[in-house]
């Protein structure tokens, strides 16, 4: 690529990225002020274009029925698109929907195991709530094998990030022998 073409390409990418970032910030501001129609209007084109954060935020709007008709199916669809792109917040939300029975899994699949897999994906990225939730699954053996050691590992990681319930658990648990 010649030098002029490189400069044009970099400039165009900067403009497009800047516009996308501004739109996402504008959508976040609309959500903050509870201007749901504006948030939906700004997020939907980005989500349809494959922007993971926009997909997650649009999923939250559908989940709560803000600016759109409440729809677990639509929320799950947007969360799943973003989760498959590796967005930890979306992976956590999708896991929650599955574990609480708000999202179907394929016939024959264990919903708790599917939720545990999504919690694990988010937990590995340092998502404190997912770490705590995964730890609870290890305590109860829901979707995973029962393991106090794994539970303490994941809950401890969440506690180290200031997760209140995880901190309370770690403080209250009997000392290791």
Residue-range domain boundaries for the chain: 15-85, 112-177
Name residues whose C-beta falls within 8 Å of residue 130's C-beta, 6 or more positions apart in sequence: 88, 91, 92, 95, 118, 119, 120, 121, 122, 123
Q: What is the pLDDT of residues 97-149, one digit of tens each?
A: 999 999 989 999 999 999 999 999 999 999 999 999 999 999 999 999 999 99
pTM metric for this prediction: 0.85
Q: Which portions of the chain are predicted below pLDDT 70?
A: 1-20, 175-177
Give the helix, strand, coil percentages of the chain, each rounded to 5: 75, 0, 25
Return d(Cα 85, Cα 106) in angstroms, integer. Answer: 20
Distances (CA, A) of 155 to 9, 84, 90: 46, 24, 20
């Amino acid at each position: 690529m010649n030098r002029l073409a490189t400069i044009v390409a970099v400039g165009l990418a900067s403009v497009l990225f800047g516009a996308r970032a501004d739109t996402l910030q504008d959508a976040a501001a609309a959500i903050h002020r509870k201007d749901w129609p504006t948030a939906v209007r700004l997020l939907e084109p980005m989500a349809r274009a494959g922007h993971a954060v926009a997909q997650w935020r649009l999923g939250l709007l559908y989940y709560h029925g803000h600016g759109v008709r409440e729809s677990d199916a639509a929320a799950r669809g947007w969360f799943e698109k973003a989760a498959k792109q590796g967005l930890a917040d979306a992976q956590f939300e999708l896991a929650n929907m599955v574990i609480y029975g708000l999202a179907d899994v394929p016939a024959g699949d264990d919903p708790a195991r599917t939720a545990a897999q999504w919690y694990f994906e988010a937990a590995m990225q340092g998502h404190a709530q997912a770490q705590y939730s995964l730890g609870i699954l290890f305590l109860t053996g829901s979707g995973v094998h029962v393991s106090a050691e794994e539970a303490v590992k994941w809950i401890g990681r969440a506690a180290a990030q200031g997760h209140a319930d995880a901190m309370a658990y770690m403080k209250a648990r009997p000392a290791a022998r």
